[in-house]
């Protein structure tokens, strides 16, 4: 039932709302939800990573300045919309781009700038650990970053007192608790099968490596504690309250749920947390998460095995690049529109260009694009060069150009999904998509259905993304004693939620398959661009 303005105001004033915060790659977003779990207000801050001294990173100043600006944006929106000030909320949850590497010494001083998931600098460590563990260790996982730093002989390693992820770091600074959610933990080092704790055998193997044995620490000493969905993960401290809300209105003592990665919040936001469900999240990167009903038969470098926030095993296909190149092209058209002094909002330009893609030819005009802002581990490419190539007789028009860019955005994802669907015969009942790429209805959803030859559902909350999913995790803290997390989502959150479903077409599937084949045939152009353009 639709709530009125006075009911929502009362919930805010009585501290019955929950906050979800997510640090995405290009935006920090905060969502405030009410008692019915629906978003009632939000705030955001745009930011970009920097390539500093060979690593993709975000500075601590940017992290805290962005969080504070996003929070102030949210409370300003609350005041404008409802005429009230937020002094307290019922719970808060922190999410951030998964994996990566943040390390601190015994005095809580950061030892090296944050190394994000986007870095492809840990190939040696990734390969060696995969062999040692007999378990795929992707380059972006925290353990790969740590081991590569050891192999590189980096001096800071000896001083490590605490290793965590971005979500774990923000949570720690706000609450004083050194913890992470089970899903986030599964991207630090693999977990025990069916248990919410780090894999004991792999921990022992890592600690026994010659280069590690001489360190003044073991993994057991420096990793965060693991908590599952619904557990209390600490409370907002007085110092944390001032860090989050620079206006000084927010009270301390607010409980926090375990911090999670954006992969896990994507599963929550699409209700894809039970076996044989899956989701695709498309933004700066793109990844598919398929909850498994049986173990994988083999170890694949293209497939990561992580967990849901409640600890169920998940097969993950992650590609580093998705919408960045599309966004850059839209910005070019926005700039052109501004030069012509046309009164077009950027959202209008997105709507127009995305919709045009549906009118493109089946062969995309015989053109090719590589959207690689950074490397792609699935393809063995360590760095990126965004690239657009066409022949003299290619049919170069706007519809074909936009269609080509969408096809390019899904090719690497398809490579990993082919392994799951064709080699591993993974069972999937439904795939739900979310993220900024799906805000224009029926466009990216259409092309994704054709790309993976499966029906794709998009919920009416698709644009809310992981911040909403994190708010739901915060809300579950008060339901854990009465139902499982999966039951909570199915019976209390998503009942009655509307969605659209698009099925693949024979023409569309064949069209994408031809582009996909050409994508690999033309890949040497990309590798040559990397060698030639320094």
**pLDDT 10s digits, 32-47:** 999 999 999 999 999 9
Tens digit of each residue's pLDDT (9 = 90 or more) over 487-513: 999 999 998 888 899 999 999 999 999
| Buried-exposed string 22-39: b where 16+ CB fall within 10 A, e elsewhere | bbbbebbbbbbbbbebbb
Which helix (H) or strand (E) segment holds residue 156: the answer is none
pLDDT at 382: 84
pLDDT cut 70: percent of the chain above it: 99
pLDDT at 274: 95
pLDDT at 210: 80
Q: Considering the chain, what is the average pLDDT of its residues?
A: 94
462 has a pLDDT exceeding 80: no
> pTM of this prediction?
0.89
Tens digit of each residue's pLDDT (9 = 90 or more) over 180-233: 999 999 999 999 987 899 999 999 999 999 889 889 999 999 999 999 999 999
pLDDT at 463: 58
1 has a pLDDT exceeding 60: no
| 45 Cβ contact partners less than 8 Å away, ≥ 6 residues apart | 27, 28, 66, 67, 69, 70, 73
Tens digit of each residue's pLDDT (9 = 90 or more) over 472-491: 999 999 999 899 999 999 99
Give the pLDDT band of residue 461 (cuts 50, 70, 90): low
pLDDT at 466: 87
| 403 Cβ contact partners less than 8 Å away, ≥ 6 residues apart | 357, 358, 360, 361, 364, 447
31 has a pLDDT exceeding 80: yes
Give the pLDDT band of residue 430 (cuts 50, 70, 90): confident
Closest-CA residue to 142 (of 101, 180, 107, 85): 101
pLDDT at 34: 96
Residues 255 and 477: beta-carbon distance below 8 Å:
yes
Over residues 356-360, mean pLDDT:
97
Over residues 364-391, mean pLDDT:
94
Spatial distance between the Cα atoms of 277 and 36, rounded to a whole number of angstroms = 24
Sequence spans of domains, the chain = 5-260
Q: How far is CA 402 from the centre of its chain?
A: 24
Q: How far is CA 127 from the centre of its chain?
A: 23
366 has a pLDDT exceeding 90: yes
pLDDT cut 90: percent of the chain above it: 89
Torsional sign, CA 280, 281, 287, 290: negative
Over residues 370-380, mean pLDDT:
92
Task: Give the ranges where 385-435 is alpha helix by DSSP (H).
Answer: 398-418
Closest-CA residue to 316 (of 200, 424, 404, 451): 424
Task: Give the ranges where 217-309 is alpha helix by DSSP (H).
Answer: 219-222, 238-244, 262-269
3 has a pLDDT exceeding 90: no
Which superfamily is assigned to 5-260 in CATH?
Answer: ATPase, nucleotide binding domain (3.30.420.40)
Give the pLDDT band of residue 464 (cuts 50, 70, 90): low
pLDDT at 138: 93
What is the biggest distance separating any 2 CA atoms in the chain, rounded to whole angstroms? 66
Strands (DSSP E) contained in 74-143 are: 91-96, 102-104
Within 10 angstroms of residue 400's Cβ, the number of other Cβ atoms is 23
């Amino acid at each position: 039932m639709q709530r009125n303005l006075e009911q929502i105001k009362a919930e805010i004033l009585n501290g019955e709302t929950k906050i979800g915060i997510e640090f995405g790659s290009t935006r920090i977003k905060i969502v405030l939800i009410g008692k019915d779990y629906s978003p009632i207000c939000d705030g955001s801050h745009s930011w970009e990573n920097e390539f500093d001294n060979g690593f993709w990173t975000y500075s601590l100043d940017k992290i805290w300045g962005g969080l504070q600006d996003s929070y102030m944006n949210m409370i300003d929106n609350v005041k404008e919309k409802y005429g009230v000030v937020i002094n307290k909320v019922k719970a808060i949850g922190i999410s951030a781009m998964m994996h990566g590497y943040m390390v601190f010494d015994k005095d809580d001083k950061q030892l090296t700038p944050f190394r994000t998931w986007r870095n492809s600098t840990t190939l040696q460590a990734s390969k060696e650990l995969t062999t040692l563990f007999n378990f795929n260790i992707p380059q972006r996982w925290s353990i790969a970053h740590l081991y590569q730093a050891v192999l590189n002989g980096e001096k800071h390693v000896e001083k490590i007192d605490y290793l965590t992820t971005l979500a774990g770091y923000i949570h720690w600074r706000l609450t004083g608790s050194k913890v992470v959610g089970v899903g986030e933990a599964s991207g630090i080092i693999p977990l025990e099968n069916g248990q919410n704790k780090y894999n004991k055998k792999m921990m022992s193997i890592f600690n026994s490596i010659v280069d590690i044995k001489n360190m003044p620490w073991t993994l057991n000493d420096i990793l965060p504690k693991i908590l599952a969905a619904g557990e209390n993960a600490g409370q907002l401290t007085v110092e944390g309250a001032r860090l989050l809300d620079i206006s000084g209105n927010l009270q301390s003592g607010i409980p926090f749920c375990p911090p999670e990665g954006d992969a896990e919040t994507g599963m929550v936001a699409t209700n894809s947390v039970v076996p044989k469900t899956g989701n695709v999240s498309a933004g700066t990167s793109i990844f598919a998460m398929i909850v498994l009903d049986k173990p994988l038969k083999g170890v694949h470098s293209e497939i990561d095995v992580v967990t849901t926030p409640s600890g169920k095993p998940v097969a993950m296909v992650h590609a580093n690049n998705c919408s960045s190149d599309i966004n850059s092209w839209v910005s070019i058209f926005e700039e052109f529109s501004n030069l012509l002094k046309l009164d077009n909002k950027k959202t209008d330009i997105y709507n127009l260009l995305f919709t045009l893609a549906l009118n493109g030819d089946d062969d995309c005009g015989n053109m090719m694009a590589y959207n690689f802002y950074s490397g792609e581990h699935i393809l063995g490419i360590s760095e990126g060069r965004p690239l657009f190539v066409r022949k003299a007789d290619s049919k170069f028009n706007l519809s074909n150009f936009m269609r080509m860019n969408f096809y390019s955005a899904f090719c690497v994802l398809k490579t990993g999904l082919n392994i799951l669907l064709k080699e591993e015969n993974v069972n999937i009942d439904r795939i739900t998509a979310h993220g900024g790429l799906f805000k224009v209805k029926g466009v990216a959803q259409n092309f994704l259905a054709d790309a993976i030859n499966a029906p794709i559902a998009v919920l009416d909350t698709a644009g809310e993304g992981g911040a909403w999913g994190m708010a739901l995790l915060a809300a579950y803290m008060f339901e854990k004693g009465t139902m499982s997390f999966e039951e909570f989502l199915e019976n209390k959150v998503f009942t009655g939620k509307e969605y659209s479903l698009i099925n693949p077409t024979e023409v569309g599937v064949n069209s994408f398959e031809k582009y996909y084949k050409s994508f690999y045939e033309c890949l040497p152009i990309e590798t040559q661009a990397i060698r030639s353009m320094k």
